[in-house]
A and B are shown apart, each in its own frame.
Chain A
């Protein structure tokens, strides 16, 4: 007995120690929850304290304080109601509740603070659950398997919705009875919501909970609403109205097929024509399709030439003709308008543009092609009212600008006119020289243009049709000199005017000239500040100067060097080697031996830098 008693007391002591120890160390009253259901009252709860062991913690007290308007009073008041909210709680009625004033509460036991908490009432708002849940059937699907219902409820009674004191949002959850996981819907502000696609043969549970809209937490869930959807007779639906679609389709197809075959094999041509009209063969007015079949292109061409819109591909015969397209990189430099204006009127250009030409401005008509129609070009910016008519003529092989000859003969006025003024001259030419295409993307373009011979010296030595050797990005055209010493060309002895001419040549912009030529021209007019003129002038309007002109212009000065232009076999066509816009183009100097070796081997023109070198 003694042993048992000892063991019992020991056990009891041990257990009591354990209890009291845990109580003392860890089991302290703590606030569990503070809640306001309707924003007019609130209550706070704390843990139930178990008094065991030797330590007697004494009665638990709750003190609260709230910040007054101006200062944070540390005056703690005791809980006004320990009863109404149940055990271990403190209830604050509406007179003690202020919404936008923060509270602090503390739990004391034996004078010592056990727990403390601060909050404002809005944070602890947790509305009561909604009431009066019910549902109505919205519709049933055609298959009779699914149905939609509308669930309705009411706000909790104590939440003052009518006066707008509280604004609630609700969350509905539903699930099948035997499921475990609830399906949630998005929060809604209204008190009714449709639930779609419920299975008819299953039973569902629905519950709703509410929350204040901007703050607080969700309240408790409402009572569960059980939804049992009425079973419908699944068979009745299907037999009701059954339109024999399939039969109709089959018979329809059959009937159409029969009709089709009847018509196809029918001897009646009329019906056949009606059902399946013949497809018209292509036909051009006046042209016998047999001609096309036989390949008599020439005849076809002649016939078609009557039509305005047809541009014959005469180049197909000329294998030595190369089409080179100029790709102008700086569109702003190439002043299209002025080019077009100067060169051609737009409609004429178009009428002459070949089908294969990318650049609408360029005309590909050969100078001396007899088949090509004559074109009348009207330059918009004709100075002094001179008008040119470019007569296309064929250039042959290394052909010089013979056309110019003819042209000059036709236009006698130009022979005698040696105007000192420079005018933009445009030349219609075609590049015939079968040289390899220029490298590095430099291209030259065919320019159909007016020829306006303003420079008498150029008149003298340049045919009416000069060949465009280069095009500057800025839009000026460099002509190759072509044949020198054209017979029959009246030489405008412009000696007295050479100087001024030269000067004016340089005065104009975008002058491209051989280094040698430039060198020639400069000493001609030593008093002329060519340098100063040239540099600023490079940006102005276009001027077309041929190397030939410069050559002749420079021919007069009494330089020791023989005029390179007149004797140097300058090729008519030089390909562009490099385009250094806007400073200049470097031509391949395949046959341009320069007397002066210090210059670049390629002649054709100089860049401003080189020009500066030349200048004294």
Chain B
């Protein structure tokens, strides 16, 4: 019975991780496309990347920046890190959708992607919380996550500053979604396939 339960649980985990990876991959694709479209339409060739002095609001989190660091971080912290990142993006995504929708000529392609990303991120967060409850049931609910305070910059009157704020936000979104995707793939191979994907 114990082995059966283990089998069941491992199957459930496999399913959850599979689903999580699919979602994170999808979200990252959407973010990349959204960023490309925004850049192409509004900011291309204007050197915004060098001007982007603002960093992402999730930079305060100690996220692994390369493979070695990713291998060193332990599983539990890794999972809670991912959850924190996801939680911290709830509010920015909500405001992104609201602000883009309120634009005078709301770019439909960008708006639809933003809406989809917001929706899927919520789902991914739910899935992650499920995984955490399965793998580390004793984890205390840690609601601490970086807070985003970029709303005023999105609403600035100066177009240059406003575009810069959007650029930064979308750039950060693309980067963080890629991080989450990468981390989940690492964790999946580590937890499910024992580093032998």
Residues of A whose CB lies within 8 Å of any CB of B are 39-40, 67, 69-72, 94, 97-102, 104, 118, 120, 122, 160-165, 167, 213-215
- Cβ of B178 and Cβ of A122 under 8 Å apart? yes
Beyond A163-B197, A165-B67, 5 additional contacts (C-beta under 8 Å) are A71-B55, A72-B52, A100-B65, A163-B71, A164-B186
Separation of A165 and B70 alpha carbons in the complex (Å): 9
- Cβ of A71 and Cβ of B178 under 8 Å apart? no
Separation of A70 and B60 alpha carbons in the complex (Å): 8
| Interface size, B (range) | 20 to 34
Q: Is B29 in contact with chain A by the CB < 8 A criterion? A: yes
Candidate in A120, A162, A165 with the most chain B CB atoms within 10 angstroms:
A165
Residues on A with C-beta less than 8 A from B175 are: 100, 120
Question: What does DSSP make chain A's interface, helix, strand, loop or mixed?
Answer: loop
22 pairs of residues in contact across A and B, judged by CB atoms under 8 Å: A39-B67, A40-B66, A67-B55, A70-B55, A71-B53, A71-B55, A72-B53, A94-B67, A99-B182, A101-B65, A120-B175, A161-B197, A162-B195, A162-B196, A163-B67, A163-B186, A164-B189, A164-B190, A165-B67, A165-B182, A214-B28, A215-B178
- Cβ of B49 and Cβ of A118 under 8 Å apart? yes
Residues on B with C-beta less than 8 A from A161 are: 197
Separation of A168 and B59 alpha carbons in the complex (Å): 28
By beta carbon, the residue of chain A nearest B32 is A214
With A71-B55, A118-B50, A215-B32 in contact, is A164–B197 under 8 Å at CB?
yes
Question: What does DSSP make chain B's interface, helix, strand, loop or mixed?
Answer: helix
A352 to chain B, nearest CB (A): 64
- Cβ of B50 and Cβ of A162 under 8 Å apart? no
With A94-B67, A100-B178 in contact, is A162–B197 under 8 Å at CB?
yes
Partner of A102, one of B49, B178, B188: B49
Residues on A with C-beta less than 8 A from B186 are: 163-165
- Cβ of A69 and Cβ of B59 under 8 Å apart? yes
Separation of A524 and B197 alpha carbons in the complex (Å): 103
Name the 7 nearest CB pairs between A and B, nearest first.
A164-B189, A98-B65, A164-B185, A164-B186, A69-B59, A164-B197, A165-B67
- Cβ of A99 and Cβ of B65 under 8 Å apart? yes
Residues on A with C-beta less than 8 A from B63 are: 100
- Cβ of A160 and Cβ of B50 under 8 Å apart? no
- Cβ of B68 and Cβ of A94 under 8 Å apart? yes
Residues on B with C-beta less than 8 A from A165 are: 67, 70, 182, 185-186
Q: Is B162 in contact with chain A by the CB < 8 A criterion? A: no
A134 to chain B, nearest CB (A): 22
- Cβ of A70 and Cβ of B59 under 8 Å apart? yes
A80 to chain B, nearest CB (A): 15
Residues on A with C-beta less than 8 A from B55 are: 67, 69-72
Residues on B with C-beta less than 8 A from A120 are: 175
- Cβ of B178 and Cβ of A214 under 8 Å apart? yes
By beta carbon, the residue of chain B nearest A39 is B67
By beta carbon, the residue of chain A nearest B179 is A100
Partner of A160, one of B65, B67, B188: B67
Separation of A40 and B190 alpha carbons in the complex (Å): 19
Separation of A120 and B53 alpha carbons in the complex (Å): 15
Q: Mark B136-167, 1 if CB is under 8 A from A, else 0.
A: 00000000000000000000000000000000
By beta carbon, the residue of chain A nearest B52 is A72
Q: Is B113 in contact with chain A by the CB < 8 A criterion? A: no
Q: Is B118 in contact with chain A by the CB < 8 A criterion? A: no
- Cβ of B196 and Cβ of A94 under 8 Å apart? no
Residues on B with C-beta less than 8 A from A101 are: 65
Residues on A with C-beta less than 8 A from B196 are: 162
Q: Mark B31-69, 1 if CB is under 8 A from A, else 0.
A: 010000000000000000110110100011001011110
Separation of A463 and B21 alpha carbons in the complex (Å): 88
Q: Is B101 in contact with chain A by the CB < 8 A criterion? A: no
Residues on A with C-beta less than 8 A from B190 are: 163-164
- Cβ of A94 and Cβ of B50 under 8 Å apart? no
By beta carbon, the residue of chain A nearest B194 is A162
- Cβ of A214 and Cβ of B29 under 8 Å apart? yes
Residues on B with C-beta less than 8 A from A163 are: 67, 71, 186, 189-190, 195, 197
Residues on B with C-beta less than 8 A from A98 are: 65-66
Partner of A97, one of B29, B53, B66, B189: B66
By beta carbon, the residue of chain A nearest B187 is A164
A273 to chain B, nearest CB (A): 70
